[in-house]
Amino acid sequence: MTVRFQPKRSQMEKFTDIHHRAVERKGSESMLQSLISKPLPSKTLLDINNDNWLEEFTRKIFQSGFYWSVIDKKWPGFREVFWDFNVNKLLMMSPEMYEQRASDERIVRNFNKVKTIAVNTMMIHSTSLEHGSFSQFINDWPSEDIIGLWNWLKKHGSRLGGNTGAYSLRVMGKDTFILSRDAESYFRSHKIIDGGLQTKKSLTAIQSFFNEMQQQSGLSLQEISQILSYSVGDNVVGFSQ
C-alpha cells in the first residue's frame, strides 16, 4: 500500500500563485512560455529504439560529476568504441572486452562507469522482451508515480539513481519533474519536505505536490517543474536557467 504524504494546506500554494510569480520574474507570459518545453507525445516516445535509451543513460552517467562539455566533445569516440550503443551487439561483449575498451583514449577512461553499459544493456534487453520494447515500458509508467520509475531504474539499472535517471527520462521525452536546487529550496521553504531530498518520505511528498499541481493546472510534470523553478531562486528576468 502506497503511503501518501499530504503537505499542510496552509503551506501549499495554488498553482496560479506559482505561475503568476514565474511570469513576474520572467517579465511576461510570452517570455515564460518561450522557456517552457513539453514532454514527447506517446506516439513519438514509442518510436525511440533501445539503442537510443542505452546511449542516453550512458551519456548521463558519464556526465555525472564531470564537465558535460568534455563528455559531449568525446561522444563521437564513445559511439565508435561501443558500436553506436547497439544493444544486440553489446549483449555479446565479454567482460574482458569492456575492460579493454575502458582504457581506450577515444573515451573518458573510467572502468566503473564503463561497466554500467553491460548492466544497462541487459536491463533494456530483458525489459523489451517482457514489454515489447523499452519505450513501451517507459511510456506505460503512470506520471502520478514517476518516482516509482526513478526507483525502478535505480534498482534494475546501474548508476541511474539520484538525478541521473530523471535527467535521462527528461532528455528522452518522458514526462518527469526534476529536483533542481531551486525546486529543493522551494520544497523546504514551504515545509513540503524537511529531511533528505532523496528519502522515500521526501520523494512521496514531492510526488503528491506535483500530482496536486497537475490537477489544478492540467499541465505536464515537465511544464510544472520548469514553471516552479522559474518562480524561485536567482534566475534573471528574460533568461533561461
Reported pTM: 0.91
pLDDT of 3 strictly over 60? no
pLDDT of 224 strictly over 50? yes
> Are residues 215 and 190 part of one domain?
yes
pLDDT (0 to 100) of residue 235: 61
pLDDT tens track for 43-68: 999 999 999 999 999 999 999 998 99
Q: How confident is the model at residue 12 (pLDDT cuts 50, 70, 90)?
A: confident
User: Does 7 map to a domain?
Assistant: no
Which one, of 111, 79, 84, lies nearest residue 97 by Cα? 111
pLDDT tens track for 16-32: 999 999 999 999 999 99
pLDDT tens track for 142-177: 999 999 999 999 999 999 999 999 999 999 999 999
Instruction: Give the H or E element holding residue 153.
Output: helix 146-156
Counted domains in the chain: 2
User: Does 57 map to a domain?
Assistant: yes
Which one, of 169, 164, 172, 146, lies nearest residue 48 by Cα? 172
> Are residues 235 and 195 part of one domain?
yes
Domain residue limits at 129: 44-172
Q: 159: which 3 cell numbers?
A: 548508476
